[in-house]
Amino acid sequence: MPKSKIFPTFDAAVADIPDGSTIGFGGFAVVGMPINLYKALAEQGAKGLTCVSNGTRGGATLPGDGPDMGGLITNGQVKKVICSFTAPTRASQKLMFSEYYEKGLIDAELVPQGTLAERMRAAGAGIPAFYTPAAVGTELAEGRETRVFNGREYLLEEALPLDYAFIRAYQADAFGNLRFRRSQRNFNPLMAMAARVTIVEVEEDILPVGAIDPDDVHLAGIFVHRLIKIPPPPEGWWPQRPAEVAKHEAERNAR
Partner 1 sequence: MSDGAKGLTRQQMCDRLAMEFQDGWIVNLGIGIPTLCSNFDFGDRQIIFHAENGVIGYGPLTGAGREDLHLVNAGGQHVTLHPGAAIVNHADSFGMIRSGRIDVTVLGAYEVAANGDFANWKMAGQKGGGIGGAMDLAACAKHVFVAMEQVTRRGQPRLVERCAIPVTARGVVDLVITNYGLYEITPEGMALREIAPGISVDEVKATTGCNLSIPSEVPPVKVRG
Contact call for residue 117 and partner 1 (CB under 8 A): yes
Q: Is 22 or 188 the residue whose CB approaches partner 1 more closely?
A: 188
Among 134, 174, 206, 220, contact with partner 1 (rule: CB under 8 A): 134
Q: Which stretch binds partner 1 (CB under 8 A): 9-17, 54-62, 69-77, 205-213?
A: 54-62
**Got the DSSP string for 93-153?**
---HHHHHHHTTSSEEEE--HHHHHHHHHHHHHT--EEEESTTTTSGGGTTS-EEEETTEE
Question: Are the C-beta atoms of residues 31 and 54 closer than 8 Å to each other?
Answer: no
**Binding-residue pattern over the window 210 to 239 for partner 1, x denoting contact by CB under 8 A:** -----------------------------x
Q: Is 3 or 241 the residue whose CB approaches partner 1 more closely?
A: 241
Per DSSP, the three-state class of 91 is coil
Among 63, 161, 170, 229, contact with partner 1 (rule: CB under 8 A): 170
- Beta carbon of residue 77, minimum distance to partner 1 (angstroms, whole number): 19
Question: How far is Cα of residue 112 from the mean position of the Cα atoms in its chain?
Answer: 15
Q: Is 175 or 180 the residue whose CB approaches partner 1 more closely?
A: 180
Among 92, 182, 214, 232, contact with partner 1 (rule: CB under 8 A): 182
Contact call for residue 74 and partner 1 (CB under 8 A): no
Contact call for residue 57 and partner 1 (CB under 8 A): no
Number of residues lying near partner 1 (CB under 8 A): 52
Q: Rounded distance, CA 107 to CA 84, Å?
A: 14
Q: Which stretch binds partner 1 (CB under 8 A): 6-14, 112-120, 224-232, 247-255?
A: 112-120
Q: Rounded distance, CA 20 to CA 193, Å?
A: 20
**Got the DSSP string for 31-77?**
BT--HHHHHHHHHH---SEEEE-S-SS--TTS-TTS-SHHHHHHTT-
Contact call for residue 181 and partner 1 (CB under 8 A): yes
Contact call for residue 30 and partner 1 (CB under 8 A): yes
Q: Which stretch binds partner 1 (CB under 8 A): 15-23, 65-73, 181-189, 229-237?
A: 181-189
**Got the DSSP string for 176-244?**
--EE--GGG-TTHHHHHHHEEEEEEEESSPPBPTT-S-GGG-SB-GGG--EEEEPPSTTTS--PPPHHH
- Beta carbon of residue 18, minimum distance to partner 1 (angstroms, whole number): 28
Question: Are the C-beta atoms of residues 248 and 28 closer than 8 Å to each other?
Answer: no
Q: Which residues lie across from 147 on neighbouring strands?
A: 154
Chain residues binding partner 1 by CB under 8 A are: 28-31, 59-61, 84-89, 98, 101-102, 108, 110-115, 117-118, 120-121, 132-140, 170, 180-190, 239, 241-243
